[in-house]
Amino acid sequence: MGIIVQKFGGSSVADAAGVKRVAQRIVNTKKQGHNVVVVVSAMGDTTDELIDLANEVSPLPPARELDMLLTAGERISMAVLSMAINDLGHDARSFTGSQAGVITDAEHGRAKIIDVSPGRIEAAISEGAIAIVAGFQGVSQTTKDITTLGRGGSDTTAVALAVALKADVCEIYSDVDGIFTADPRIEPRARKIPRISYEETLEMAAQGAKILHLRCVEYARRYNMPIHVRSSFSEKEGTWVVNAEDVAQESTDKENTVEEAIITGVAHDRSQAKITVVGVPDKVGEAAAIFRALADAAINLDMIVQNVSAATTGLTDISFTLPRTQGQVAMGALAKLQGEVGYDKVLYDDGVGKVSIVGAGMSSAPGISARFFESLSAAGVNIEMISTSEIRVSVVVAEPQVEAAVNAAHAAFGLGSDEVEAVVYGGTGR
């Protein structure tokens, strides 16, 4: 009998009614003759509420204690979900990440899974039980302390367990019917993507599309574990995340395939800020000094642009983007550098957003950037920064123009459907 891992996100188990609905769904899968292992996130906005609570108690909670607190969210949902399944007459047993054998490194708040030894899960399913595992958490191999995997980490727990258990598929349930060509919350004509490669999914997720935890996709790609992203609120087939050959295979299978889509989707990100270092002397070692200071402050950089220096002044500007949450720290690190580098000033702008088009087809198609930029221009959107990869073009724009930019790009690449397909069933978007 095959194993299916099913992961349910916070919005699917937001309240008692949701928990019961999900319990029924799990039991239905079990009745179809599968072994079922479930990974569950904290109910609704519990994790955010726990973080708020910690911040009320302490301005800087110790990372170890914060992790201990946050893992409580998933313990609540795993226990109540197990109760609901038992009520339906099926044996279900809940396990913390540590009991499920999720072993991580010791990096609190963003621990990496280094091994999964799911002995207790295997024992439970061999006795015919449904195993419920708390997502987003593990235990450090070295310190034996409880760790968390970073926000949204339950997806990664699910894929890691699926790999360790040699499951047939990892199903990720959320409040939308799959992965869409753009966020249905701002693009009403977004279409569901039936199949998408790991690589494109990684780019979409890295560019802010709130579809899957980045690490979960990396993990799935490494072990070639198919992910089926779907809604717990409907029975519809969702999106399959598989390797690129399988995506290509499907399009050759389709007779008279319509011209293959060059762009797979449009992603946007409102979590970034832009810093510009103005008047940097154009000489050897200046950029190195700036980015060394930022690296030492553990700043996660994204786009970097350095202008050609003005011939008259010999000075140049360097701009980069980073997560807004790191803005303060980065500004502090740069301030200490002013004497050494001798720049003019540093500008901070958190009123920016990033819009990206992603598609494996673009590597062999000319004119993609032109079409993208023309659509932005027609929509009156000004581009502040540009960056590209082999399968992506990203722009930074003013935050209030993000929505218009997404809509323009989506239409320019013919991604829109004629009917409204996307339903957002739940979630507060927090």
Q: Which residues line the annotated binding site for ATP?
A: 7-10, 185
Which one, 215 or 274, has the nearer CB to ligand ASP?
215
Half-sphere exposure of 253 (CA within 13 A, CB side): 6
Which one, 81 or 261, has the nearer CB to Mg ion?
81
Which one, 135 or 327, has the nearer CB to ligand ASP?
135
Which one, 39 or 131, has the nearer CB to ligand ASP?
39
Contact assessment for residue 33 and residue 26, using Cβ atoms and an 8 Å cutoff = no
Which one, 41 or 140, has the nearer CB to ligand ASP?
41
Please name which of 418, 113, 410 lies closest in space to residue 263, comparing C-alpha atoms: 410
Q: What DSSP element (H or E) covers 319?
A: strand 315-323
- Name the phi and psi angles at 103, rounded to 5: -100, 130
Which one, 10 or 208, has the nearer CB to Mg ion?
10
Beta strands at 352-358 and 385-389: parallel, antiparallel or unpaired: unpaired
Binding site for Mg ion (CB under 5 A): 10, 41
Instruction: Return the one option of Mg ion, ligand ASP, none that residue 44 interacts with (CB less than 5 to 8 A, by type).
Output: none
Distance separating alpha carbons of residues 388 and 369, to the nearest angstrom: 9
Which one, 10 or 226, has the nearer CB to Mg ion?
10
Q: How far is the CB of 42 from ligand ASP (least distance, A)?
A: 4
Place of tokens 């990664």: 156
Q: How far is the CB of 97 from ligand ASP (least distance, A)?
A: 11
- Edge to edge, the sheet with strand 265-269 lists 265-269, 352-358, 392-398, 385-389
DSSP state letter for 303: -
The conformational region for residue 367 under phi > 0 = left, psi -120 to 50 = alpha, else beta, is left
Instruction: Return the one option of Mg ion, ligand ASP, none that residue 239 interacts with (CB less than 5 to 8 A, by type).
Output: none
Q: How far is the CB of 336 from Mg ion (least distance, A)?
A: 36
Residue 64 tokens read as: 């170890």
Which one, 42 or 266, has the nearer CB to ligand ASP?
42
Q: How far is the CB of 32 from ligand ASP (least distance, A)?
A: 26
Distance separating alpha carbons of residues 182 and 414, to the nearest angstrom: 12
Q: How far is the CB of 37 from ligand ASP (least distance, A)?
A: 16
Give the three-state DSSP class for 351.
coil
Please name which of 265, 246, 269 lies closest in space to residue 200, comparing C-alpha atoms: 265
Instruction: Return the one option of ligand ASP, Mg ion, none that residue 197 interacts with (CB less than 5 to 8 A, by type).
Output: none
Binding site for ligand ASP (CB under 6 A): 9-10, 41-42, 47, 73, 135-136, 151-154
Instruction: Return the one option of Mg ion, ligand ASP, none that residue 135 interacts with (CB less than 5 to 8 A, by type).
Output: ligand ASP
Bind-site residues for substrate: 47, 74
Residue 79 tokens read as: 């226990």
Q: How many CB atoms lie within 10 A of CB 335?
A: 11
Partners of 143 in the β-ladder: none
Bind-site residues: 7-10, 47, 74, 185
Going from the C-alpha of 251 to that of each of 255, 355, 385, 421, the distances in angstroms are 8, 27, 34, 21
Q: Which residue is nearest to Mg ion (CB)?
A: 10
Beta strands at 3-8 and 169-174: parallel, antiparallel or unpaired: parallel
Give the three-state DSSP class for 420.
coil
DSSP state letter for 41: P
Q: How far is the CB of 50 from ligand ASP (least distance, A)?
A: 9
Distance separating alpha carbons of residues 279 and 355, to the nearest angstrom: 28
Instruction: Return the one option of Mg ion, ligand ASP, none that residue 153 interacts with (CB less than 5 to 8 A, by type).
Output: ligand ASP
